[in-house]
Amino acid sequence: MSFTLNDLPLREDLRGRSPYGAPQLEVPVVLNTNENPHPPSPRLARALADAVAETALGLNRYPDRDALRLREGLAAYLGHGLSAQNVWAANGSNEVLQQILQAFGGPGRTAMGFEPSYSMHPIIARGTGTGWVSVPRRADDFRIDTDAALAAIAEHRPSVVFLTSPNNPTGTALEIADTERILRAAPGVVVVDEAYAEFRREGTPSALTLLDGHPRLIVSRTMSKAFALAGARVGYLAAHPAVVDALQLVRLPYHLSSVTQTVARVALDHADELLGAVADLRAERDDLVAWLRGHGFAVADSDANFVLFGEFEDRTRIWQALLDRQVLIREVGPPGWLRVTVGTAEETAAFREALLAATGR
């Protein structure tokens, strides 16, 4: 007898859904999940291992439920006069976002996003029983049409508004003035998902500059991208201390393991080393954008460590042709477009060569 999930008393709104996730394939050039291509140095790996060994001596005890020392370190990293009371941390920014929706969304409430954007936002909304309203970005440059945003906010009165800047998968950054207008109009909390903040181009400010005076603004960040620590699962946010109090109502006790807290703290102590490649990755990104344009591809301006490019009649065929040449990128975003993460110089060179071969340019 075959028994599948359809035979389970699954929630109706989850029936027929597929789990989120890019294919995890073992190929030499992996440019599909916007990771930092540089692993920790052996010296840093040793420092991490030593600190974890120390932590291991106390693993019979629960971790610090409030992760206070880690939050102090994250606040110091962010600057802007923030303290531990302004910061909250969890297992990846995905968990941070989930806690935000648990506290401020939920049944009978609505969250709003400007798509194409990070596809986990609507998935986490669904998981928390929060309604989802999708407002399209402008088709020509993938920017948020602020007037359309304000109209949608007035119509739907969302409890949570997601702004992703730089946006995934388009790389588009949001102007501070637009964020401010949306903040003033939104009746609930406004989350600026800044997972890729460290890769912004010169002159693009962070929403952190708006925290003072905007107690319903939440800026979420992650150690998965610029910090090259995706495997450790550490995300965090900065907000008014009252927001942090609210999240403590929904977080599971001891959600962030002692090992995770230790690894994140040691990583912060070595921030200079871990963030050392960011300048190179930004330069590599700008080169890649110019190269793609030079070869006649359409390319979205990018403030992130990835580039959205197109347009292809059959993007699946191009994606597969690249994979056949051992280069894994992501089939995501508007139809006809593909997204490639900026890797090492060698990886990016392999991508360029494979793309020329795949498209015959």
Q: Is residue 92 involved in binding ligand PMP (CB under 6 A)?
A: yes
Q: How far is the CB of 120 from ligand PMP (least distance, A)?
A: 6
Range in contact with ligand PMP (rule: CB under 6 A) among 24-32, 177-185, 222-230, 247-255? 222-230
Which pair of structure tokens corresponds to residue 34?
Answer: 């916007």
Q: Is residue 94 involved in binding ligand PMP (CB under 6 A)?
A: yes
Using DSSP, state whether 268 is helix, strand or coil: helix
Rounded to the nearest 10 degrees, the angle between the axes of helix 176-185 and helix 146-156 is 20
Range in contact with ligand PMP (rule: CB under 6 A) among 42-50, 89-97, 133-141, 334-342? 89-97
Using DSSP, state whether 307 is helix, strand or coil: strand
Q: Which is nearer to ligand PMP, 343 or 358 (CB)?
A: 343
Nearest Cα residue to 161 out of 131, 201, 138, 204: 131
Residue 296 gets which letter from DSSP? T
Using DSSP, state whether 93 is helix, strand or coil: helix
Nearest Cα residue to 229 out of 252, 260, 191: 260
Q: Is residue 206 involved in binding ligand PMP (CB under 6 A)?
A: no
Site for ligand PMP (CB under 6 A): which residue of 40, 235, 334, 343?
235
Contact 256, 223 (CB under 8 A): no
Residue nearest to ligand PMP (CB): 92
Q: Is residue 224 involved in binding ligand PMP (CB under 6 A)?
A: yes
Q: Which is nearer to ligand PMP, 191 or 288 (CB)?
A: 191
Nearest Cα residue to 77 out of 265, 205, 260, 268: 268
Residue 193 CB contacts under 8 Å (≥ 6 apart), including other chains: 93, 97, 118, 121, 162, 163, 164, 165, 220
Site for ligand PMP (CB under 6 A): which residue of 118, 142, 297, 312?
118
Q: Which residues in 338-357 contact ligand PMP (CB under 6 A)?
A: none
Q: How far is the CB of 328 from ligand PMP (least distance, A)?
A: 15
Q: Is residue 260 involved in binding ligand PMP (CB under 6 A)?
A: no
Q: Is residue 36 involved in binding ligand PMP (CB under 6 A)?
A: no
Q: Is residue 165 involved in binding ligand PMP (CB under 6 A)?
A: no
Range in contact with ligand PMP (rule: CB under 6 A) among 13-21, 50-58, 88-96, 329-337? 88-96
Q: Is residue 193 involved in binding ligand PMP (CB under 6 A)?
A: yes
Q: Is residue 34 involved in binding ligand PMP (CB under 6 A)?
A: yes
Site for ligand PMP (CB under 6 A): which residue of 230, 250, 277, 321?
230
Q: How far is the CB of 54 from ligand PMP (least distance, A)?
A: 25
Q: How far is the CB of 164 from ligand PMP (least distance, A)?
A: 5
Number of neighbouring beta carbons within 10 Å of residue 299: 19
CA distance linking residue 264 with residue 74, whole number of Å? 9
Q: What is the torsion angle, in degrees rounded to the nearest 10, for the CA atoms of residue 139, residue 141, residue 143 and residue 146?
A: -70
Q: How far is the CB of 295 from ligand PMP (least distance, A)?
A: 26
Q: Which helix (H) or strand (E) holds 295?
A: none
How far lies 118's CA from each of 143, 177, 343, in Å? 14, 22, 20
Q: Is residue 114 involved in binding ligand PMP (CB under 6 A)?
A: no
Q: How far is the CB of 306 from ligand PMP (least distance, A)?
A: 9
Give the DSSP letter string of 167-228.
Answer: -TTT-----HHHHHHHHHH-SSEEEEE-TTGGGPPTT---GGGG-TT-TTEEEEEESSSTTS
- Compute how many residues bind ligand PMP; rule: CB under 6 A: 13
CA distance linking residue 207 with residue 183, whole number of Å? 11
Q: How far is the CB of 235 from ligand PMP (least distance, A)?
A: 4
Q: Which is nearer to ligand PMP, 92 or 343 (CB)?
A: 92
Number of neighbouring beta carbons within 10 Å of residue 124: 24
Q: Which residues in 145-164 contact ligand PMP (CB under 6 A)?
A: 164
Q: Is residue 195 involved in binding ligand PMP (CB under 6 A)?
A: yes
Q: Which residues bind ligand PMP (CB under 6 A)?
A: 34, 92-94, 118, 164, 168, 193, 195, 222, 224, 230, 235
